[in-house]
Amino acid sequence: MGAIYIVWLRQMKRYIRSRSRIVGSLGQPVLFLFALGFGLGPVFQKAGGGNYIDFLVPGVIAQAILFTAIFSGIELIWDRQFGFLKETLVAPVSRLSIMVGRTLGGATIATLQGIIVLALSLLFGFFPYSILALPAVVAIMFLVALLFTTLGTAIASALEDFQGFQLIMSFLVMPLFFLSGALFPIKSAPGFLIAISSFNPLTYGVDGLRETLTNTANFGLGMDISVLGILSVALLVAGSYLFSKIQV
């Protein structure tokens, strides 16, 4: 547990020192809230969808978490390229502890990003339906962050260069986001999109956030938590195996 805490603490110190990273990662969520929230809001309301800001905020929070969590894998490649990872791996601790510590650190950072976006959404007129549901909101954020941090770390463990990681992430991240129901109601989409979205893990993260923040959902909180939890454990096992095979 001590090794896990030390690795987690190192991740957090990196995040705190990188103010430009914190500010830069908030630009896209704010742009979505401003441009889509106010631009498409009247259209969404006329179509009978209600307040689009209320619908959009859970999706934008999930987007902020997704981008921050999955791109945390770049830090692993960075450490590998510049020799920092070698210093960590030669320490008398198990690679599993290092992997878990990095994953928890990345997930904590992504969760903090989600909380910041939620706070900023208040400036755009969004309010959660119940303050008492906020602990559940943070729990869903952490599950989403844990899932995609593990995915990013697993992919980074199998790669050795930034270019390959960025190509794979660009190919993966945007479809995950746009096919998650973050920007449009899944239940009103064509059948083939509904089928694709049901296999998208981010769909259940968006749905869980939407239920805890606005009390509306498609699958139910139990289903959302089950899918996110099972996939997180499966990816953590796979990621730990790939991480154990890293050669430095």
pLDDT tens digits along 104-139: 888 998 999 999 999 999 988 888 988 888 999 999
Summarised one tens digit per residue, pLDDT across range 166-220 is: 777 778 888 898 888 888 888 877 888 888 888 999 999 999 999 999 988 888 8
- 141, pLDDT greater than 90: yes
Q: What is the predicted pLDDT for the residue at 18?
A: 62
Which residues make Cβ contacts (< 8 Å) with residue 236, sequence separation at least 6?
99, 100, 103, 150
Query: Is residue 238 within 8 Å of 154, Cβ to Cβ?
Result: yes
Q: What number of other Cβ atoms are within 10 A of residue 211's Cβ?
A: 22
| 36, 95, 99, 229 from 225: Cα distances, Å | 28, 28, 23, 6
Residue predicted with more confidence, 118 or 5 = 118
pLDDT above 70 as % of the chain = 79
Query: Is residue 89 within 8 Å of 98, Cβ to Cβ?
Result: yes
Mean of all residue pLDDT scores within the chain: 81
Cα 61 to Cα 113: distance, rounded to the nearest angstrom: 8
Q: What is the predicted pLDDT for the residue at 19?
A: 56
Cα 203 to Cα 219: distance, rounded to the nearest angstrom: 10
pLDDT above 90 as % of the chain = 24
Crossing angle, helix 134-157 and helix 162-178, to 10 degrees?
140
Residue predicted with more confidence, 166 or 29 = 29
In this prediction the pTM is 0.88
- 76, pLDDT greater than 80: no
